[in-house]
Amino acid sequence: MSGKQKSYHHGNLREVLLETAFRLVDSDGVEAISMRALAREARVSSAAPFRHFADKRVLLDAVAEKAAAELERKLDESTAACSDALTQFRAMSVAYVRFAAEHPALFDLIHGTESVSAGFLGEVKDERRLNLIALIIEGQNAGLIPEADPELIALTSEALTHGLARMIVDHHPRLRTLSSEEARQLALAATQLLQTGIGLS
């Protein structure tokens, strides 16, 4: 019996299956996932996945939760070295857009899964949104962000950031070949434009 097979009997099979499914979605899209394909990729019996995931939908919900946690981690990491509220504000937008460019299938799955999508779509009581509002107010108090309704600034930022990410994932004609670095530069430019405005006076 191999080391991998032994680990399955110690309760790690669910994690192995979830990681395998996560990788398959990331590389080949949701369409590549079936319980049979998962079993084959993980080198287990065709019945094994059903002991941990009742069906494909339950499996994909778990993958979406894992992807959402990864996106959360990227957003948190993006602000670790930021020195002020405005830099943090822009860094989170850039991280969000880059995740979409680097992991379009996972991004799509997150937002197609109701149980995990709300936290990234600005629910009023969502903790991340409340933190964003607090960050905007902090930036306003420091004179870094214009004195406007923080809720409106947050909504505008979310519209810009999510809109860019969605256009990348949906293969918009002008963005379909965007690299991760190009996505970063685009998000920086767009958030700079949001910061300065487009008015001439």
B/e letters for 6-41, b = 16+ CB within 10 Å, e = fewer, are eebeeeebeebbbebbbebbbeeebeebebebbbee
**Tens digits of per-residue pLDDT, 35-76?**
999 999 999 999 999 999 999 999 999 999 999 999 999 999
The pLDDT, as a whole number, for residue 83 is 85
pLDDT band at 117 (very low <50, low <70, confident <90, very high): confident
Residue 16 has pLDDT above 90, yes or no: yes
The pLDDT, as a whole number, for residue 197 is 74
Least confident of 15-24, 111-120, 180-189: 111-120
The pLDDT, as a whole number, for residue 124 is 47
Contact between 22 and 66 under an 8 Å Cβ cutoff? The reply is: yes
Q: What are 168-174's contacts with CB under 8 Å, separation 24+?
A: 168/97, 168/100, 168/101, 168/104, 169/100, 169/104, 169/107, 169/108
**Tens digits of per-residue pLDDT, 133-177?**
888 898 889 888 888 899 898 888 889 999 999 999 999 998 888
In terms of Cβ atoms closer than 10 Å to its own Cβ (0-12, 13-18, 19+), residue 106 is buried
Residue type, 13: L
The pLDDT, as a whole number, for residue 6 is 43
The pLDDT, as a whole number, for residue 147 is 86
Residue 123 has pLDDT above 60, yes or no: no
Angle, to 10 degrees, between the axis of helix 35-42 and the axis of helix 13-28? 110
Residue 10 has pLDDT above 70, yes or no: no
Contact between 95 and 78 under an 8 Å Cβ cutoff? The reply is: yes
> How many angstroms separate the CA atoms of 138 and 187, rounded?
22
Residue 126 has pLDDT above 80, yes or no: no
> How many angstroms separate the CA atoms of 131 and 88, rounded?
11
Residue 111 has pLDDT above 80, yes or no: yes
The pLDDT, as a whole number, for residue 122 is 54
The pLDDT, as a whole number, for residue 127 is 75
Domains of the chain as residue ranges with CATH: 3-53 (1.10.10.60), 67-196 (1.10.357.10)
The pLDDT, as a whole number, for residue 96 is 93
The distance of Cα 13 from the centroid of its chain, to the nearest Å, equals 25
* Residue 113 exposure: Cα atoms within 13 Å on the Cβ side: 22
